[in-house]
């Protein structure tokens, strides 16, 4: 007997169909006969939202009235994915919905497909925030996600006829969006500019301009917890109506200028995922959402109080800073406490220090935000003063601890010219965490070493995780059924470590075959999806080998494509017979930041390798490369369950964690990877024999830098010595993938041969060797599937529920509502 614990609403399919009809008629004014899938999508969304409202209101009331500290997850990005399916699952309405829409004359899939995916994030950091608020709600922990409702999300990616990336705006709000509720009555005023004056011995900020921050609330339903939290995304509105006088003179653009400028703040998500752009607008965005959120928390937790006792603030809510983007919140809370509520510096500092914690998501020094003091001074003059004072206090504290002057200088939060946000966060909050064990160690030993030396107790690790609801249950229903059957219960969806129970089944041939059949069926599904959406002809009987993530030199998509080219060259030159090749389909998905030249060249190269190889009869059916454009959550949910082999092949010591790797392992793909980020922990758990490890370790990388790898052009030696590598690079240089033009990739080739900062060439041989081993393993399907079962069984640790439990225990010191 299989135990089923999934939520199930008492509502019948007939009742749910009636609710959809009502919405269609009374809110949207269309009959069922007139309705298009997009209409039914809006109606069904409104209907499911209604089923969640009571839990939502009760959760808020219990949060405000109870004694459980809430979590405020401050994040410039929440990459949520489509909402309807997830809301149905958590409301226990999936079956009713499926039947109801069928009775109304639609397929469930076409209704789900009618939703437009919001792209309010760049990549891992934004998706992590979405997984975390799902887990907070599922664990019953009171929480707010606080961020920005950008009008334009991450750009839409297309490829032109030369294979180049084209970015087009993603106006995701072009059609009705049924999930967000705009609450004009809970707005906040956010001010900028002006000057600070002294009045009666007090500092008073006289800002020059203000915008109206209006919250748009999204429900965040928990799975099987009965709780529904809130994601509050701020949108910027102007206080100034347009200037009628100017308008009457027909100067339309001038008349609406102030309005446009204010509303620009929430207009667009910065498509950056590595280096901060010194853009005023970006700082405005950061301050905008953080200031509104802090004031909102005071409003929520001290309702109707003119003179709240904010010495209890840190007992009401703890703010997690998702990277440095919200760090301006530290001086902002200081300012609010002192200037708006009259607290003295020391009291304000205690509260602030207790309220904030900081998560770092990078190891690239250039990705730690640094703002010019001049810009902060112009935009937020009072905050700059406070930051200077924080820095003075910090220096005095360091001196008192006996830190030497040179180190104190290295640690400066405020250097005179600039403000280092990661340092401000490390000093201003209670805890600092990295996102995987290796990453947290490197933060302590390298990136934030001085801080960890002085404040060792602040530093901790919380290894990332992913939500099993979206990334197993919704993405891979077939595997979910096989797991539930294998374990005799579906409880694993809220306690993922139960997957351990599958370990013995790896020895059960019947189970392993069933598992393999799921993978095969998913591959067929993906092939159909790719045909429908992209026009690709993917052969589901080949190995599906996937590399999906932002395009970055450190992630080394170049290593993957060079290996493909090397294989191609071997077949073309007759060194390897096509008959001996194990058929493989390589699928890439990646967006490059619009200003990142080498990343964009790499995209162009991959597209043209795909074009040449896929059209070459010599390798037909053996080696194929596809690059579906505009990688997003929907594509991830279709591709991950169909993947046999995942790649996380970053240069060791560069990828903070990676979370794609977790999603793949949980869906029964094997990983080829370096000892980097969360790969280290995945390998530890699934077993070294079930993970394809290759490449230099972090200390080996450091040693090779010390020899001058990138400065003395050592990469060329690897090129000269390895004929396979040489052949591959020569093929790129000689125009094989650019219709004979030798210039197209010259900068890429030149970089490989003279600098190669991320050591692609140095790791090439090890990578080719491990790929040979992978082929051999794949030729034994039972062996491969057994390894894949063990990956699933041993990856339960990588649930975001476990990450959140770690945050609760190590950092937030709070828990579920009573």
- Which residue's C-beta sits nearest to ligand BZD? 124
Residue 278 C-beta: closest distance to ligand BZD, Å: 13
**Subset of residues 271 to 290 that bind ligand BZD, contact rule: CB under 6 A:** 272-273
Cα separation of 625 and 5, whole Å? Answer: 42
Of residues 455, 410, 408, 449, the one with CA closest to residue 428: 455
> Cβ–Cβ contacts within 10 Å for residue 387, how many?
25
Residue among 325 and 560 whose Cβ is closer to ligand BZD: 325
Distance CA 796, CA 713 (A): 43
- The residue (of 277 and 711) whose beta carbon lies closer to ligand BZD is 277
Q: Which residues pair with 651 in a beta bridge?
A: none
Handedness of CA 600, 601, 604, 606 (dihedral sign): negative
Across-strand partners of 698? none
Distance in Å, CB of 676 to ligand BZD, minimum: 9
* 367 belongs to the binding site for ligand BZD (CB under 6 A): yes
Q: Is residue 124 within the footprint of ligand BZD (CB under 6 A)?
A: yes
Q: Which stretch binds ligand BZD (CB under 6 A): 121-129, 156-164, 210-218, 785-793?
A: 121-129
CB of 505 to ligand BZD, least distance (A): 30
Q: Whole-angstrom distance between the N-terminal and C-terminal Cα of the chain? A: 32
Size of interface with ligand BZD, in residues (CB under 6 A) = 17
Interface with ligand BZD, residue 476, by CB under 6 A: no
CA distance 704 to 773: 26
Residue 677 touching ligand BZD (CB under 6 A): yes
Stretch that binds ligand BZD, among 23-31, 124-132, 417-425, 809-817 (CB under 6 A): 124-132
Q: Which listed range, 38-46, 123-131, 510-518, 762-770, lies at the site for ligand BZD (CB under 6 A)?
A: 123-131
Indicate the burial class of 341 (C-beta count within 10 angstroms; 0-12, 13-18, 19 or more). middle
Question: Strand, coil or helix: what is 586?
Answer: strand
Segments in 205-337 forming alpha helices (H): 244-248, 252-255, 257-263, 280-301, 313-316, 329-335
Site string (635-654) toward ligand BZD, x via CB under 6 A = --------------------
Closer to ligand BZD by Cβ: residue 122 or 357? 122
User: What are the start-end ranges of the E strands in 484-569?
Assistant: 543-548
Q: Which is nearer to ligand BZD, 255 or 367 (CB)?
A: 367
**Alpha helices of 365-457 — where are they, by DSSP H?**
373-379, 381-400, 405-410, 421-428, 437-442, 449-454
Cα torsion 271, 361, 84, 237: sign: negative
C-beta of residue 74 within 8 angstroms of C-beta of residue 319 = yes
Question: Which residues have a Cβ under 8 Å from the Cβ of 461 and sit 6 or more positions away?
Answer: 433, 434, 435, 436, 437, 439, 440, 441
* Least distance to ligand BZD, CB of residue 514, Å: 32
Closest CA to 618 of 565, 582, 562, 577: 577
Contact call for residue 123 and ligand BZD (CB under 6 A): yes
Query: Which pair of tokens denotes residue 616?
Result: 């070459």
Build a one-symbol-per-residue string for 31-60: x at contacts with ligand BZD by CB under 6 A, - elsewhere: ------------------------------
Judged by beta carbon, residue 657 or residue 785, the one nearer ligand BZD is 657
Copy the structure tokens of residue 769: 């060797």
3-state secondary structure of 489: strand
Measure the CA dihedral 588/626/732/697, to 10°. 30
**Among residues 462 and 561, whose Cβ is nearest to ligand BZD?**
462
Is 77 or 115 the residue whose CB approaches ligand BZD more closely? 77
SS3 of residue 213 by DSSP: strand
User: With binding defined as CB under 6 A, does residue 655 bind ligand BZD?
Assistant: yes
Region of 327-335, 382-390, 565-573, 657-665 interacting with ligand BZD (CB under 6 A) = 657-665
* From candidates 435, 592, 613, 761, binder to ligand BZD by CB under 6 A: 435
Contact between 659 and ligand BZD by CB under 6 A: the answer reads yes
Q: How far is the CB of 658 from ligand BZD (least distance, A)?
A: 5
Any contact of residue 669 with ligand BZD (CB under 6 A)?
A: no
The tokens 């809220």 sit on which residue? Answer: 494
Q: Which residues pair with 210 in a beta bridge?
A: 191
Q: To the nearest whole angstrom, how small is the minimum distance from the Cβ of residue 79 to ligand BZD?
A: 9
**Of the candidate residues 128, 368, 603, 804, the single one contacting ligand BZD (CB under 6 A):** 128
808 interacts with ligand BZD by CB under 6 A: no
Long-range contacts of 442-446 (CB under 8 A, 24+ apart): 442/363, 442/653, 442/698, 443/360, 443/363, 446/363
- Residues taking part in catalysis: 361, 549-550, 555, 659, 663
Please identify which residue in 151, 282, 316, 361 interacts with ligand BZD, judged by CB under 6 A: 361
Of 81 and 677, CB closest to ligand BZD: 677
Comparison of 214 and 593: residue with beta carbon closer to ligand BZD: 593
Q: Which is nearer to ligand BZD, 432 or 656 (CB)?
A: 656
Smallest separation, CB 445 to ligand BZD (Å): 18
- Give residue 797's Cα distance to chain centre: 19
Judged by CB under 6 A, the chain residues 516 through 575 that form the site for ligand BZD are none
Scanning 120-128, 440-448, 515-523, 638-646 for contacts with ligand BZD by CB under 6 A, the matching segment is 120-128
Cβ-contact 210, 263 below 8 angstroms? no
Q: Is 777 exposed, middle or buried (0-12, 13-18, 19+ CB in 10 A)?
A: middle
Interface stretch with ligand BZD, choices 110-118, 122-130, 454-462, 571-579 (CB under 6 A): 122-130
Any contact of residue 633 with ligand BZD (CB under 6 A)? no
Sign of CA dihedral 496, 497, 498, 502: positive
Residue 657 makes contact with ligand BZD by CB under 6 A: yes
Residue 437 C-beta: closest distance to ligand BZD, Å: 13
Asked if 125 is part of the footprint of ligand BZD (rule: CB under 6 A), the reply reads: yes
Instruction: Provide the minimum distance between the beta carbon of 148 and ligand BZD in the complex, in angstroms, as a whole number.
Output: 12
Closest CA to 273 of 123, 80, 425: 123
Q: Does 80 bind ligand BZD (CB under 6 A)?
A: no
Residue 229, classed as helix, strand or coil, is strand
Minimum separation from the CB atom of position 419 to ligand BZD (A):
17
Give residues in contact with ligand BZD (CB under 6 A): 122-125, 128, 272-273, 361, 367, 435, 464, 655-659, 677
């Amino acid at each position: 007997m299989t135990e089923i614990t999934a939520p199930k609403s008492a509502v019948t399919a007939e009742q749910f169909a009636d609710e959809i009809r009502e919405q269609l008629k009374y809110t949207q004014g269309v009959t069922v006969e007139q309705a298009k899938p997009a209409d039914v999508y809006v109606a069904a969304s409104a209907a499911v939202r209604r089923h969640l409202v009571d839990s939502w209101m009760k959760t808020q009331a219990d949060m405000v009235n109870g004694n459980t500290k809430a979590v405020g997850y401050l994040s410039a990005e929440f990459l949520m994915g489509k909402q309807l399916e997830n809301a149905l699952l958590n409301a226990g309405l999936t079956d009713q919905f499926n039947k109801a829409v069928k009775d109304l004359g639609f397929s469930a899939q076409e209704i789900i497909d009618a939703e437009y995916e919001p792209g309010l994030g760049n990549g891992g950091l934004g998706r992590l925030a979405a997984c975390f608020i799902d887990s907070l709600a599922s664990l019953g922990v009171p929480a707010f996600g606080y961020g920005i409702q950008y009008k334009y999300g991450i750009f839409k990616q297309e490829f032109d006829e030369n294979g180049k990336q084209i970015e087009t705006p993603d106006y995701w709000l072009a059609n009705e969006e049924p999930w967000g509720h705009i609450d004009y009555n809970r707005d906040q005023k956010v001010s900028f500019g002006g000057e600070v004056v002294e009045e009666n011995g007090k500092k008073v900020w006289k800002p020059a301009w203000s915008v109206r921050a209006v919250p748009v609330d999204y429900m965040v339903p928990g799975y099987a917890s009965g709780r529904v939290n809130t994601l509050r995304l701020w949108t910027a509105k102007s206080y100034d109506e347009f200037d009628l006088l100017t308008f009457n003179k027909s100067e339309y653009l001038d008349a609406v200028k102030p309005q446009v400028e204010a509303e620009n703040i929430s207009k667009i998500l910065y498509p950056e995922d590595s280096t901060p752009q010194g853009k005023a607008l970006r700082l405005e965005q950061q301050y905008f959402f953080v200031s509104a959120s802090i004031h909102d928390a005071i409003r929520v937790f001290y309702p109707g109080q003119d003179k709240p006792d904010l010495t209890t603030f840190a007992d009401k809510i703890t703010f997690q800073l998702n990277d440095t983007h919200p760090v301006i919140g530290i001086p902002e809370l200081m300012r609010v406490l002192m200037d708006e509520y009259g607290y003295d510096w020391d009291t304000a500092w205690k509260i602030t220090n207790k309220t904030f914690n900081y998560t770092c998501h990078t190891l690239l020094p250039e990705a730690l935000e640094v703002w010019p003091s001049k810009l902060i001074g112009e935009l937020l003059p009072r905050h700059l003063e406070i930051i200077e004072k924080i820095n003075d206090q910090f220096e005095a504290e360091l001196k008192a601890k006996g830190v030497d002057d040179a180190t104190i200088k290295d640690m400066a939060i405020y250097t005179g010219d600039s403000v280092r946000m990661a340092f401000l966060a490390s000093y201003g909050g209670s805890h600092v965490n990295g996102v995987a064990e290796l990453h947290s160690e490197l933060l302590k030993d390298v990136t934030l070493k001085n801080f960890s030396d002085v404040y060792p107790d602040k530093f901790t690790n919380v290894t990332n995780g992913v939500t099993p609801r979206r990334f197993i249950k919704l993405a891979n229903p077939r595997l979910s059924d096989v797991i539930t059957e294998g374990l005799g219960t579906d409880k694993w969806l809220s306690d993922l470590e139960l997957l351990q129970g599958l370990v013995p089944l790896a020895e059960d041939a019947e189970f392993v075959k069933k598992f393999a059949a799921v993978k095969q069926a998913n591959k067929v599904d993906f092939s159909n999806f790719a045909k429908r959406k992209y026009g690709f002809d993917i052969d589901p009987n080949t190995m599906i080998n996937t590399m999906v993530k932002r395009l970055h030199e450190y992630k080394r998509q170049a290593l993957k494509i060079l290996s493909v080219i090397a294989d191609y060259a071997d077949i073309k030159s007759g060194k390897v017979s096509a008959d001996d090749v194990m058929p493989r389909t390589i699928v890439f998905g990646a967006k490059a930041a619009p200003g990142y030249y080498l990343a964009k060249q790499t995209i162009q190269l991959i597209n043209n390798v795909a074009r040449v190889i896929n059209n070459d009869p010599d390798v037909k059916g053996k080696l194929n490369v596809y690059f579906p454009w505009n990688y997003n959550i929907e594509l991830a949910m279709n591709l991950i369950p169909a993947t046999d082999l995942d790649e996380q092949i970053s240069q060791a010591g560069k990828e903070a964690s990676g979370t794609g790797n977790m999603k793949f392992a949980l869906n029964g793909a094997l990983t080829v990877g370096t000892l980097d980020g969360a790969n280290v922990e995945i390998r530890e758990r699934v077993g070294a024999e079930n993970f394809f490890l290759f490449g230099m370790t972090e200390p080996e990388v450091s040693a090779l830098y010390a020899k001058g790898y990138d400065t003395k052009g050592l990469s060329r030696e690897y090129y000269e010595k390895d004929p396979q590598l040489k052949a591959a690079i020569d093929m790129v240089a000689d125009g094989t993938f650019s219709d004979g033009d030798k210039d197209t990739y010259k900068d890429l080739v030149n970089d490989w041969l003279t600098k190669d900062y991320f050591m692609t060439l140095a790791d090439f041989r090890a990578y080719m060797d491990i790929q040979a081993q992978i082929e051999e393993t794949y030729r034994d399907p039972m062996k491969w599937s057994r390894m894949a079962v063990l990956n699933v069984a041993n990856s339960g640790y990588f649930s975001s529920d476990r990450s959140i439990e770690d945050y609760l225990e190590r950092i937030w010191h709070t828990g579920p509502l009573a």
